[in-house]
Amino acid sequence: MYRSHNCGELRASHINTEVTLSGWVQKSRDKGFIVWVDLRDRYGITQLVFDEERTSKSMMEQAQQLGREFVVQVKGIVIERASKNPNMPTGDIELLVSELTVLNEAITPPFTIEDDTDGGEELRMKYRYLDIRRNPVKDNLIFRAKVTQEVRNYLSKNDFIEVETPYLIKSTPEGARDFVVPSRMNEGQFYALPQSPQTFKQLLMVGGMDKYFQIVKCFRDEDLRADRQPEFTQIDCEMAFIEQEDILNVFEGLTRHLLKEVNGVEIDKFPRIQYDDAMRLYGNDKPDIRFGMEFGELNAVAQHKEFNVFNSAELVVGIAVPGGNKYTRKEIDKLIDWVKRPQVGAQGMVYSRCNDDGSFKSSVDKFYDQDDLAKWAEVTGAKAGDLVCVLSGDASKVRAQLSALRMELAERLGLRDPKVFAPLWVMDFPLLELDEETGHYHAMHHPFTSPKPGQLELLDSNPGAVKANAYDLVLNGNEIGGGSIRIHDKATQAIMFKHLGFTEEEAKAQFGFLMDAFEYGAPPHGGLAFGLDRLVAILGGQETIRDFIAFPKNNSGRDVMIDAPAPIDDEQLTELSLKLNLKS
């Protein structure tokens, strides 16, 4: 028996009990006549004590040689601690060691295994197995396991069946690059790793499974960022014989369940907003509604003077920054420099101070009088003490720019409290998006998304106006889930493929198996997929997903711990009938 108890469970009630513990040496303090050692495992830390009055000379010498991260087993009697530590669950006791066994020595780790470590991110990723010993990472992984278990509990209680789908599939266009896998047994042919189990879950509905879910790995060969990895995990769900309202109710229920069971938070309302309104009021389709600063469109009150910057703009739009009038001119200039960064791309920013006495002072006083500026304040909802920030230009670009500014200001003002949760449904997305470079439409979600009832005919006359029977669930300014009612008949799916530029032959080659399945009695169906990594991070009070993944990739898609991806040898290339054509 390596241990009778773990390092986090001993309390005053265990005093005078003989126990066996095993774990890692967190640190030791050698006073010569007495040695204290903090022994750590997944569950916590217990202080060990060796002293020259009660410990043999040989064991004292052994204890003095213990290094950080040595793996040891100890046996001894639990005693009351003379200087209690109220910050530790085990702080009332310590273990007087009678037997010490070194199970494995350790070289000095490249960074301290502490909550506040001295290791940089890349170094910690290289030695991720050491990083996992640290409480912040360990606790995040345990938290993820709890969330995952609660997802399974909720869905299983609601009659969902967990079904696994294949990882080696056919490459199909779903909006991102596929990772491909060569087939040795089928020379010159390739599998693709799934970007999602989309077609399989639809086939499961055709198969009569009725309610399906899967916590599944998905793969997309995309550029990476803090909340994106080349492999990620979805809570993938599908339901048959349902309408949109059924799906929204089920997954509102799942989100409520997680917030209550994991965070102890109860949410009553899940507001709903149309996609068009989200873009108009917030400039993006995943607005953070924990705070205000809604957009106010100023064309009608700003384009009647001789200020050509506004007069020539498609859209003039502003936000009211609460308490922003306290900003100094230097601080506002820095804000202007921030919006002019290439990542944001604005040409500049106009502002108007809302003074406490009801007057206004703007950066364009030459063109606008007090009445004009009062109208700006009215449209943006600005009050005395606020600052109105105004951008102008091409409508789609300026909305994105002001959205970025809104989020930056909210961060600076402390309005994005991670302990506050504000869910929101965004509804009725466009079915199609126009690619300005090619002039062709592509699916905003995926080719199997159904148009809103009664809008199919619009595909011929005004495809850009067709709304999708689709919905996204947003939490704290992050899309945590999205889905749609699917097309479930061959004729409608053929029309959709046609408008996406597929020839009949191409559609059959890519999706013939699904089209054929629809001819055997496909039920009305729809579903939703949550991004588990992002959902867990937000529930855990963070927005970056990396520390909630056991072995993540870096921003270049590399696993620096195992040094992957890596070349394969010529023998393997020959076996797979592959020849490299590398750019020099």
- Known binding positions: 174, 220-222, 229, 445, 479, 486, 531-534
Residue 185: other Cβ atoms inside 10 A: 5
CB 567 within 8 A of CB 560: no
- H or E stretch covering 218: strand 211-219
Q: Extract the annotated binding site for L-aspartate.
A: 174, 220, 445, 486
Q: Give all strands (DSSP E) within 121-210, no chain letters.
A: 161-162, 180-182, 190-192
Helix then strand count (H, E) for the chain reads 17, 22
Nearest-angstrom CA–CA distance, 12 and 19? 13
Angle at the Cα of 386 (from 383 to 391), degrees rounded to 5?
110
Nearest-angstrom CA–CA distance, 69 and 467? 59
Nearest-angstrom CA–CA distance, 325 and 297? 21
Indicate the DSSP class of residue 177. P
| Dihedral sign, Cα of residue 148, residue 153, residue 156, residue 158 | negative
CB 488 within 8 A of CB 525: yes
Angle at the Cα of 127 (from 126 to 133), degrees rounded to 5?
145
Nearest-angstrom CA–CA distance, 96 and 115? 27
- H or E stretch covering 497: helix 490-499
Residue 501: other Cβ atoms inside 10 A: 12
CB 161 within 8 A of CB 211: yes
Placement of tokens 């030695």 in the chain = 127
Q: Which amino acid is at 159?
A: D
Nearest-angstrom CA–CA distance, 448 and 22? 55
Residue 2 tokens, joined: 């390596």
CB 69 within 8 A of CB 25: yes
Residue 16 CB partners (closer than 8 Å, separation 6+): 77, 78, 79
Angle at the Cα of 154 (from 150 to 156), degrees rounded to 5?
115
Q: Extract the annotated binding site for ATP.
A: 220-222, 229, 479, 531-534
